[in-house]
């Protein structure tokens, strides 16, 4: 009680309104810090992966596509048979090599990944990621190509990552990283 009486007696001194200004600035900075902390943390909807369902894929057909955001998952569906051995070969820009994953988005009971046949190499200026997978069941499988800028960069919140200055036209242009992949049957 003594402390409150002391504060009330001080508040009438000249210049005490600067203390109010300081307190409201601190309150504003705290609120702004909470909002920015929420936006730039991984729980923000802004940092959720964009999931695209790109349709079905046929064996031995090369599919071309590109990423347009910092976090993106492209899902492709294909039919598989029991004991079928498939090879997946993804060719991408080497700049996003370590931010890209290729996997079957099915329960692990439905397939076995042959780790001896998996690779991540540079070939003719392109990064090539390959997997060999044995399917255990008949059915429709989902191949996911998952790109996350955070996996290969320390500076995660760079909104203009895919924008480059075009000197000829003197303007910013989008250059989204392209990729192509092929699912093939392993005949060995």
The alpha carbon of residue 183 and the mean position of all alpha carbons in its chain are separated, in whole angstroms, by: 23
Over residues 15-41, the mean pLDDT reads 86
- Rounded to whole angstroms, the Cα distance separating 133 from 89 reads 11
pTM: 0.69
Evaluate whether 49 touches 71 at the Cβ level (below 8 Å).
yes
The pair phi, psi for residue 152, each rounded to 5°, is -125, 15
Question: Comparing 5 with 79, which gets the higher pLDDT?
Answer: 79
At 97 the pLDDT is 81
Q: CATH topology for 50-185?
A: Jelly Rolls (2.60.120)
Residue 183 pLDDT grade (very low, low, confident, very high; cuts 50, 70, 90)? very high
Q: Is the pLDDT of residue 91 over 70?
A: yes
Evaluate whether 120 touches 145 at the Cβ level (below 8 Å).
no
Over residues 48-54, the mean pLDDT reads 85
- Rounded to whole angstroms, the Cα distance separating 44 from 148 reads 15
Angle at 160 between CA 103 and CA 51, to 5 degrees: 30
Q: Is the pLDDT of residue 32 over 80?
A: yes
Evaluate whether 41 touches 47 at the Cβ level (below 8 Å).
yes
Q: Where are the domains of the chain?
A: 2-40, 50-185
Return the biggest CA–CA distance within the chain: 90
At 49 the pLDDT is 77
Distances (CA, A) of 77 to 8, 145, 147, 181: 71, 12, 18, 13
Evaluate whether 99 touches 147 at the Cβ level (below 8 Å).
yes
Angle at 10 between CA 4 and CA 14, to 5 degrees: 155
Q: Is the pLDDT of residue 159 over 60?
A: no
At 115 the pLDDT is 82
């Amino acid at each position: 009680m003594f402390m409150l009486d002391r504060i009330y007696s001080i508040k009438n001194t000249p210049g005490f309104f600067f203390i109010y200004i300081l307190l409201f600035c601190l309150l504003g900075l705290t609120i702004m810090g909470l909002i920015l902390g929420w936006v730039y943390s991984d729980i923000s909807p802004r940092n959720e992966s964009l999931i695209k369902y790109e349709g079905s894929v046929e064996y031995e057909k090369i599919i071309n596509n590109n990423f347009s955001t910092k976090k993106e998952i492209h899902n492709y569906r294909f039919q598989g048979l029991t004991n079928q051995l498939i090879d997946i070969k993804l060719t991408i820009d080497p700049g996003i090599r370590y931010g890209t994953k290729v996997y079957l988005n099915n329960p692990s009971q439905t397939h076995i990944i042959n780790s001896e046949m998996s690779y991540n190499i540079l070939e003719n200026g392109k990064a090539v990621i390959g997997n060999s997978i044995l399917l255990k069941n008949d059915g429709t499988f989902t191949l996911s190509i998952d790109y996350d800028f955070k996996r290969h960069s320390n500076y995660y919140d760079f909104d203009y990552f895919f924008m480059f200055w075009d000197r000829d036209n003197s303007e910013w242009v989008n250059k989204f990283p392209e990729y192509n992949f092929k699912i093939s049957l392993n005949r060995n």
